[in-house]
Amino acid sequence: MSAALRTQVGIIGAGPAGLLLSQLLHLAGVASVVLERRSREYVLGRIRAGVLEQTTTEILRRAHVGARMDREGLVHHGVELCFGERRHRLDFATFGASVTVYGQTEITRDLMEARDALGATLIYEAEDVAIEGVAGSAPRLRWRKGGEQHALDCDFVAGCDGFHGVSRASIPKPKLTTHERVYPFGWLGVLADVPPVSDELLYASHERGFALCSMRSASRSRCYVQCALDEDLAEWTDERFWDELRSRLPADAAARLATGPSIEKSVAPLRSFVAEPLRYGRLFLAGDAAHIVPPTGAKGLNLAARDVDQLATALIAHYRKGSDELLNVYSAVALRRIWRAERFSAWMTSVLHKFPGRSSFDRGMQIAELDHLVGSAAAQAAFVESYAGASAVTGTAT
How much is the pLDDT for 50?
Answer: 86
303-343 pLDDT, tens digit each: 999 999 999 999 999 999 999 999 999 999 999 999 999 99
Active site annotation includes 295: yes
Average pLDDT over residues 343-371: 97
If you ran DSSP here, which 8-state letter would residue 57 be given? H
Catalytic residue among 183, 280, 330, 387: 387
Catalytic residue among 203, 224, 280, 330: 203
How much is the pLDDT for 397?
Answer: 47
How much is the pLDDT for 393?
Answer: 39
What is the distance between the alpha carbons of residues 146 and 69, in angstroms, rounded to a whole number?
36
Residue 392 has pLDDT above 50, yes or no: no
Q: Is 356 in contact with 318 (CB distance < 8 Å)? A: no
Q: Please name which of 54, 57, 60, 103 lies closest in space to residue 216, comparing C-alpha atoms.
A: 103
How much is the pLDDT for 238?
Answer: 98
Quick one: what percent of the chain has pLDDT higher than 70? 97
Distances in Å between the Cα of 87 and the Cα atoms of 79, 206, 251 are 10, 12, 10
How much is the pLDDT for 361?
Answer: 98
| Domain presence at residue 129 | yes
Three-state DSSP state, 214: strand
Q: Please name which of 86, 359, 52 lies closest in space to residue 204, comparing C-alpha atoms.
A: 86
Active site annotation includes 203: yes
Buried (b) or exposed (e) across 42-57, using 16+ Cβ within 10 A? ebeeebbbbbbbbbbb
247-279 pLDDT, tens digit each: 999 999 999 999 999 999 999 999 999 999 999
How much is the pLDDT for 4?
Answer: 83
Q: Please name which of 297, 17, 358 lies closest in space to residue 159, comparing C-alpha atoms.
A: 17
Q: Is 61 in contact with 54 (CB distance < 8 Å)? A: no
| Domain presence at residue 196 | no
Catalytic residue among 26, 299, 318, 353: 299
Average pLDDT, the chain: 95
Number of structural domains, the chain?
A: 1
| Domain presence at residue 14 | yes
What is the distance between the alpha carbons of residues 206 and 85, in angstroms, rounded to a whole number?
8
Average pLDDT over residues 167-171: 98
Residue 140 has pLDDT above 70, yes or no: yes
Active site annotation includes 139: no
98-132 pLDDT, tens digit each: 999 999 999 999 999 999 999 999 999 999 999 99
| Band (2; pLDDT cuts 50, 70, 90) | confident
Residue 364 has pLDDT above 90, yes or no: yes
Distances in Å between the Cα of 149 and the Cα atoms of 1, 126, 128 are 5, 10, 10
Q: Is 63 in contact with 27 (CB distance < 8 Å)? A: yes
Catalytic residue among 139, 295, 318, 330: 295
How much is the pLDDT for 390?
Answer: 66
If you ran DSSP here, which 8-state letter would residue 335 be given? H
3 state SS for 88-133: EEEECHHHCCCEEECCHHHHHHHHHHHHHHCCCEEECCCEEEEEEC
Active site annotation includes 42: no
Domain that holds residue 161: 5-74+101-179+271-355
| Domain presence at residue 44 | yes
| Domain presence at residue 59 | yes
How much is the pLDDT for 395?
Answer: 43
In sequence order, what are the beta bridge partners of 50? none
If you ran DSSP here, which 8-state letter would residue 374 be given? H
How much is the pLDDT for 48?
Answer: 76
Active site annotation includes 299: yes
If you ran DSSP here, which 8-state letter would residue 244 be given? H
How much is the pLDDT for 373?
Answer: 98
| Domain presence at residue 126 | yes
pTM for this entry: 0.95
Q: What CATH number corresponds to the domain at position 164? A: 3.50.50.60
| Domain presence at residue 372 | no
Residue 391 has pLDDT above 80, yes or no: no
| Domain presence at residue 378 | no
